[in-house]
Amino acid sequence: MPAGLPERLPILIAPSPLLKARARAVAAGDEATVRDLLPRMFATMYDAPGIGLAAPQVGTGLRVAVVDLMPDNVQTPLTLINPEIVALSEEMATREEGCLSLPNMYAEVTRPARAKVRFLDETGARREIEADGLLAACLQHELDHLDGVLFVDHLSSLKRNMILRRLAKETRQKQDAPARRFA
Ligand code: GNR
Ligand code: NI
């Protein structure tokens, strides 16, 4: 029985091996796990704050993601279970992306400008959305997570390594005791 506010989950930071793994499809028997996971994923995403969160980012290897672009600052939650790309535009678009698993790192990522995605919603109903703009980028970013792909994997190895090294350095500095910071 769920009681009180959903608990926020710790977000895995790169280079966690769980972020590189392919998540498995939600199947019969996963209902209780998914029902318990979704409110926690939304709470974690809103708290971060972020506009999307994939289950592998919180250590669950299931093909589940949540998205909310908060249009006009109004919560508009979107739950994606077993999402699949049905179509991608030939036209590409470039925009700055960030990722809760690569905190404080941002880079311009080029992806198809429009995406059609098929998925099951939180009630198990089959749905399909055709997205452009930020939603198209966010959906592709979340589906990538389910295949163990991060936005830096779309960059040149030079840019990717720069970001991963900077992140490793910042993570090290945060974890070090303040007295050891300059040691
Ligand atoms: O909060 C997020 N912002 C964002 C901006 C541009 C493209 C994708 C995203 S998703 C990201 C949250 C996240 O890490 N989701 O996996
Ligand atoms: Ni991400």
Range of the domain at 100: 17-173
pTM of the predicted structure, to 2 decimals: 0.95
Ligand 1 atom 1: the closest Cα is on which residue? 50
Ligand 2 geometric centre to CA of 91 (Å): 23
Cα 172 to chain centroid, rounded: 23
28/108 Cα distance (integer angstroms) = 39
Which CATH number covers residue 136? 3.90.45.10
End-to-end CA distance of the chain: 49
pLDDT tens-digit map of 66-88? 999 999 999 999 999 999 999 99
pLDDT tens-digit map of 128-177? 999 999 999 999 999 999 999 999 999 999 999 999 999 999 988 888 75
Q: Is residue 26 part of a domain?
A: yes
Total structural domains in the chain?
1
Nearest atom in ligand 1 to 51's CA: 1
117/140 Cα distance (integer angstroms) = 9
Q: Is residue 27 part of a domain?
A: yes
Nearest to 139 by CA among 103, 112, 101, 104: 112
Residue 61 near residue 14 (C-beta atoms within 8 A) = no
2/6 Cα distance (integer angstroms) = 8
Pick the ligand that lies closest to the CA of residue 65.
Answer: 1
Q: What pLDDT is recorded for position 11?
A: 98
| Cβ of 99 less than 6 Å from ligand 1 | yes
Which amino acids are annotated catalytic?
142
Q: Is residue 4 part of a domain?
A: no
Q: Is residue 6 part of a domain?
A: no
| Cβ of 146 less than 6 Å from ligand 1 | no
Q: Is residue 98 part of a domain?
A: yes
Residue 22 near residue 180 (C-beta atoms within 8 A) = no
Q: What pLDDT is recorded for position 107?
A: 98
The band of 118, judged by pLDDT with boundaries at 50, 70 and 90, is: very high
Ligand 2 geometric centre to CA of 99 (Å): 4
φ/ψ bin of 166: left (φ > 0), alpha (ψ from -120 to 50), beta (otherwise): alpha
Residue 57 near residue 144 (C-beta atoms within 8 A) = no
Q: Is residue 7 part of a domain?
A: no
Q: Is residue 72 part of a domain?
A: yes
Q: What are phi and psi of 65, to 5 degrees?
A: -145, 155
